[in-house]
């Protein structure tokens, strides 16, 4: 009997400890929505992946806090989904999740009310929850705005309000900005509230390359940075990120090849204004990515060759390697002298590997991407052999499971099956992914190659 009461006490104590942070529901998506509707709450959805570092950091540092639980438990039905497993795949796709962690606040009807993302310290995370709670009680939710837009409403005040509402839930606004821009007066364009709403970073934001709003930002970026109280080049960096998103979701997806020169010219102008280097290589890479995304093998081959031979390989590679060596020695100095303790650094071996190649990591990945573009689109043996050369170069500059997986795929496509299997298995042993889902995927790829099947997703 004493043992029974002791066990009951321990269970209650454990439950109390866990109750301090966010309590997550474990039902199905349908059940969670029904519960939220019955309790008149929003569903808070933590969309994560098994390999996402910031996701794990939130789980370890923020979700367990009492002050966080005190807000989330009474106001939301809390739910977690892995974007790469089970129902999570469809839910992440439905709400256009492109980065992790992403936080969705959805009502009982499955309508998105608010969205945020990334690692947030508790104070910021609670502020995001406060916005979601406020949005829940907004008498005009996003769905009402969308109904009016679909009905053809296009006056200035409506479009500004609709744009701001979409910005709150982090929906792309590029095309709507183009519609509202001709209606805006100078005082609108100098309005801090308006500019802050459209220049608030989110992975889903879009800006039309060469568009009306693009030209306004390019011509007035310094003044805009001052109005919204951001550091120099903030508006330009946002424009750059939003153009890339538009490039991927509109220009590539809808095969708008006539927009490719516009994208290249717009990208070049922004890079020049921000005084960035490697402009020509970057532009050649965008062209390659367009033809890869549209699966145009005929145009991809010359674009990939141009990108590598006249772009990447024309860069000062020895200078990058020298800079990496100098930066690595400087980074290691406190550990060598004993001022810092390497045993307290998480994933020390992986950290060393990255810090020793800070410039060449990016260069290596770009070579890998060129090789992978050929794998995914081209069947010509001669070009596949050329892509293998690029994969070897990439692996030599920075050994990485993703490059080895691409290398394996190319080997398989030219008929070197056994070598491909061995290379894919080698990729699976990379310390970056050992014990995780990526390792399992690569081993599955090896088994698929063994059966004579080319993996669709290499890594």
Question: Given its phi and psi angles, is residue 333 left (phi above 0), alpha (psi -120 to 50 degrees) or beta?
Answer: alpha
| pLDDT at 15 (0 to 100) | 41
Pairwise CA distance, residues 241 & 109, whole Å:
32
What 3-state class would DSSP assign to 455?
A: coil
Instruction: Say if residue 101 is preceded by a cis peptide, omega within 30 of 0.
Output: yes
Closest CA to 201 of 181, 173, 232, 226: 173
Question: Given its phi and psi angles, is residue 55 left (phi above 0), alpha (psi -120 to 50 degrees) or beta?
Answer: alpha
Counting DSSP H helices and E strands in the chain, the numbers are 23, 5
Query: For the sheet containing 42-48, what is the strand order?
Result: 24-25, 76-82, 42-48, 102-106, 112-117
| pLDDT at 144 (0 to 100) | 82
Pairwise CA distance, residues 351 & 360, whole Å:
14
> For residue range 211-232, what is the model confidence (pLDDT) as tens digits?
999 999 999 999 999 999 999 9
Q: Which CATH class is domain 314-450?
A: mainly alpha
> For residue range 157-192, what is the model confidence (pLDDT) as tens digits?
999 999 988 888 778 899 999 999 999 999 999 999
Decide if 394 contacts 373 (C-beta within 8 A): no
Pairwise CA distance, residues 436 & 283, whole Å:
35
Task: Show the low-confidence residues of the chain (pLDDT under 50).
Answer: 1-18
Give the Cα-Cα-Cα angle 131, 133, 134 (nearest 5 degrees): 65
Pairwise CA distance, residues 420 & 248, whole Å:
31
Decide if 132 contacts 115 (C-beta within 8 A): no
Domain ranges of the chain: 19-138, 143-276, 314-450
Torsion (CA) 140, 143, 144, 146 in degrees, nearest 10: 130
| pLDDT at 109 (0 to 100) | 92
- Choose which CATH entry (3.30.9.10, 3.40.1390.10, 3.10.310.70, 3.40.30.10) describes domain 19-138: 3.40.30.10
């Amino acid at each position: 009997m004493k043992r029974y009461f002791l066990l009951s006490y321990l269970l209650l104590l454990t439950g109390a400890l866990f109750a301090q942070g966010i309590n997550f529901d474990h039902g199905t998506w349908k059940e969670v929505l029904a519960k939220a509707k019955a309790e008149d709450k929003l569903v808070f959805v933590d969309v994560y992946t098994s390999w996402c570092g910031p996701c794990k950091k939130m789980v370890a540092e923020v979700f367990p806090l009492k002050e966080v639980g005190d807000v989330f438990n009474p106001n939301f039905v809390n739910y977690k989904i892995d974007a790469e497993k089970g129902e999570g795949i469809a839910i992440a796709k439905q709400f256009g999740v492109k980065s992790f962690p992403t936080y969705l606040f959805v009502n009982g009807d499955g309508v998105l009310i608010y969205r945020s993302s990334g690692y947030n310290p508790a104070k910021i995370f609670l502020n995001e929850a406060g916005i979601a709670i406020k949005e829940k009680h907004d008498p005009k939710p996003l769905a009402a705005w969308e109904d009016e837009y679909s009905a053809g409403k296009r006056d200035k005040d409506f479009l500004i309000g609709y744009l701001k509402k979409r910005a709150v839930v982090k929906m792309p606004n590029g095309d709507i900005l183009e519609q509202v821009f001709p209606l805006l007066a100078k005082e609108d364009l100098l309005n801090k509230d308006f500019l802050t709403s459209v220049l608030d970073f989110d992975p889903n934001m879009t800006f039309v390359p060469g568009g009306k709003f693009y030209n306004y930002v390019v011509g007035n970026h310094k003044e805009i940075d001052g109005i919204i109280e951001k550091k120099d080049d903030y508006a330009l960096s946002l424009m750059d990120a939003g153009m890339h998103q538009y490039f991927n979701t509109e220009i590539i997806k809808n095969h708008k090849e006539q927009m490719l020169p516009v994208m290249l010219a717009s990208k070049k102008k922004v890079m020049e204004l921000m005084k960035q280097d490697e402009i020509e290589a970057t532009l050649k890479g965008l062209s390659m990515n367009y033809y890869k995304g549209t699966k145009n093998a005929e145009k991809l081959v010359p674009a990939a060759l141009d990108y590598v031979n006249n772009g990447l390989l024309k860069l000062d590679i020895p200078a990058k390697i020298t800079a990496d060596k100098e930066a690595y020695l400087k980074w290691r100095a406190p550990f060598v002298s004993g001022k810092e303790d390497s045993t307290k650094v998480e994933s020390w071996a992986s950290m060393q590997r990255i810090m020793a190649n800070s410039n060449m990591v990016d260069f290596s990945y770009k070579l890998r991407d060129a090789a992978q573009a050929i794998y995914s689109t081209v069947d010509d043996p001669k070009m596949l052999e050329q892509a293998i050369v690029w994969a070897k170069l990439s692996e030599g500059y920075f050994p990485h499971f993703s490059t080895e997986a691409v290398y394996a795929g190319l080997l398989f496509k030219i008929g070197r099956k056994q070598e491909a299997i061995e290379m894919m298995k080698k990729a699976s042993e990379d310390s970056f992914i050992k014990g995780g889902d990526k390792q399992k995927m690569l081993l599955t790829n090896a088994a698929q190659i063994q059966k004579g099947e080319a993996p669709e997703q290499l890594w």
